[in-house]
Amino acid sequence: MSATPDAAPPAAAPPHDDDSATLAALGYESHFRRDMSLWANFSLGFTYLSPVVGIYALFAFSLGTAGPPMVWALVIAGIGQLLVALVFGEVVSQYPVSGGIYPWARRLWGRRWAWMSGWIYLFALLATIASVSYGAGPYAAAMLGFEPTVTTTIGCALAVLLIATLINLSGTRWLSLAAIIGFSAELVGALVVGVWLLATERHHGLGVFFDGQGTGAGGSYAAAFLAASLIGIYQYYGFEACGDVAEEVRDPARRIPKAMRMTIYVGGAAATFITFALVLSVADFGAVISGADADPVTTALTAAFGPTMVKVILGIVLISFVSCAMSLQAAASRLTYAYARDDMIVGSRVLARFSAARHVPPYALLLAAVLPALLVIGSKVSADALTKIISFASLGIYLGFQMVVLAALRARLRGWRPAGPFTLGRWGLAVNVAALVYGVLAMINMAWPRTPDVPWYDNYIVLLSGAVVIVLGLVYMTVTRHYGRGDAPAGDAIPAKQGAGA
């Protein structure tokens, strides 16, 4: 029966209603507000990846270990992590649920696998928040002109945590605005610094990027390059934060996979460019390799900009540290909230509470502030203990990633066909396998013992710290059996006839 001529057509459902209906079909009702645009979502991932924080922190080590060719590690790691981002894009497109690693692993495999994935990733995030906050101390000292003692570094770290927490507690809209400001400042700063260094402080031709400058002479250059390549491995994560806030983005099934790829493209290009410019601006590679110039970044910046402008640049660097800590904290709080919403962790009733005024989980956010703060304060007693805890951070993040990549591969082989708007089609299996191979090789490289002159437990600290976190998680699972609580869907990516035992 046709409509009468004067009948008004039914109004189209607004995108927000469509997103709510999609989420309800996945078994959840969200209390978040969808205030995050595509650019804000991308900016969150970018500030978490943070080219400035990652490159400035590891440039001296990588250049001193393998010479200028270490820049190629950024290209290799960027390609590898792009493969991971493509797999994540397929998963979040079908399951746009807040929390990232944990809910994705839950739908792809099951409760136990998801619980352990979230446990490992949450530990890694909390350690990384402490690491980034603590790392801001020396830059604040250089900018403000005071001695970077343990006490002042702790004070700076706590200030960074406080600012990040206040921004996050203000709600999604303020988080989005802060992420965009952080992204803009960091990108403009990287471009301005890079271009100025190339214009005024370039001391070498492009051939140096194929010259190890004598590094690795006592052994294999390949071993030296693998050690230096940690600068790339540590650089390229953060894109998954785009998916951690899936319930705060409109049309997340389409926008988040795109934001993840943008994070890799833009963040990777910025990181590679600034590294390229810094290498060419180092006047004496021998001084860096020998350790005589322990801070070639500051040396190059001071020569190019002078002491006054360097303070401005250091101010931008500090903004990058705050933005990075803020984005990490947002990711950790959404993961904690997702855990608590499914009653998967002790204190779930409190951690799942929501602020009606701010539309954020305040207690999950406070957890992501208090625990890193305690780690930072603990460095007053033992800076070595903090180093040991932080050493697990990058391995834990990669392990969490690869648990999802492996879960996706297992589900794919058992019949899962990604059903979201973003899929890789017939390339899905090949990309999934390649992403898994890259991730496993990267983790082996991170955990490889390279300091035979120190006690064995320090030589194997990354591997040992990872084992401790995993064992603690297994004990927790066995004793409490929290993984079995709640009735949220699990393992449903695999067709029912094959997924009944998940």
CB–CB of 141/147 below 8 Å?
A: yes
Cα→Cα distances 344→102, 256, 335, 500, Å? 10, 25, 11, 21
| DSSP codes of every residue in 241-280 | HHHHTGGGBSSHHHHHHHHHHHHHHHHHHHHHHHHHHHHH
Q: Is 36 helix (H, G, I), strand (E, B) or coil?
A: strand
Determine phi and psi for 249, rounding to 5 degrees: -120, 135
The H or E element containing residue 145 is none
36 strand-pairing partners: 249
Residue with tokens 């991170």: 446
Asked if residue 297 has pLDDT above 80, the reply is yes
CB–CB of 454/461 below 8 Å?
A: no
Q: Which class for 132: exposed (0-12), middle (13-18), buried (19 or more C-beta within 10 A)?
A: buried
Q: Is 105 helix (H, G, I), strand (E, B) or coil?
A: helix
Residue 348, in any domain of the structure: yes
249 strand-pairing partners: 36
What is the average pLDDT value for the chain, to the nearest integer?
89
Query: What are 186's two structure tokens?
Result: 């960091």
How far apart are alpha carbons 350 and 76 in whole angstroms? 43
| DSSP codes of every residue in 398-422 | HHHHHHHHHHHHHHHHTT----SS-
Residue 9, in any domain of the structure: no
Residue 7, in any domain of the structure: no
Residue 292, in any domain of the structure: yes
How many domains is the chain partitioned into structurally?
1
3 state SS for 312-333:
HHHHHHHHHHHHHHHHHHHHHH
User: What per-residue confidence (pLDDT) applies to 483?
Assistant: 83
Q: Which residues contact 208 (CB under 8 A, 6 or more apart)?
A: 67, 68, 279, 280, 285
User: What per-residue confidence (pLDDT) applies to 11?
Assistant: 38
**For the residues 310-327, what does the mean pLDDT come to?**
89
Cα→Cα distances 338→79, 126, 247, 344, 434, Å? 30, 16, 11, 9, 29
Length of the chain: 502
Tens-place pLDDT, residues 387-435: 666 778 889 999 999 999 999 999 999 999 999 999 999 999 999 999 9
3 state SS for 427-450:
HHHHHHHHHHHHHHHHHHHHHCCC
Torsion 229-230-234-240 (CA) sign = positive
Dihedral, 310, 311, 316, 318 alpha carbons, nearest 10? 120
Residue 335, in any domain of the structure: yes
Tens-place pLDDT, residues 197-216: 999 999 999 999 999 988 87
User: What per-residue confidence (pLDDT) applies to 380?
Assistant: 79
CB–CB of 248/34 below 8 Å?
A: yes
| DSSP codes of every residue in 128-144 | HHHHHHHHHHHHHHHHH
**For the residues 462-472, what does the mean pLDDT come to?**
91
**For the residues 289-306, what does the mean pLDDT come to?**
90
**For the residues 254-262, what does the mean pLDDT come to?**
96
Residue 1, in any domain of the structure: no
- pTM, 2 dp: 0.91
Tens-place pLDDT, residues 16-40: 568 888 889 998 888 899 999 999 9
Residue 367, in any domain of the structure: yes
How far apart are alpha carbons 123 and 361 in whole angstroms? 19
Boundaries of domain holding 103: 34-497
Cα→Cα distances 327→33, 127, 149, 159, 242, Å? 17, 14, 27, 16, 10
**For the residues 130-151, what does the mean pLDDT come to?**
84
Q: Which class for 277: exposed (0-12), middle (13-18), buried (19 or more C-beta within 10 A)?
A: buried
Query: What are 431's two structure tokens?
Result: 């990309």
Name the CA radius of gyration of the chain, rounded: 23
User: What per-residue confidence (pLDDT) applies to 381?
Assistant: 74
Asked if residue 440 has pLDDT above 60, the reply is yes
Query: What are 405's two structure tokens?
Result: 């990549």
How far apart are alpha carbons 10 and 30 in whole angstroms? 26
Q: Domain with 89 in it: what CATH number?
A: 1.20.1740.10
Asked if residue 5 has pLDDT above 50, the reply is no
Residue 15, in any domain of the structure: no
Q: Which residues contact 462 (CB under 8 A, 6 or more apart)?
A: 391, 392, 395, 446, 447
Dihedral, 255, 260, 263, 266 alpha carbons, nearest 10? -70
Side chain identity at 239, as an amino acid letter? F
User: What per-residue confidence (pLDDT) applies to 386?
Assistant: 64
The H or E element containing residue 358 is none
**For the residues 98-107, what does the mean pLDDT come to?**
94
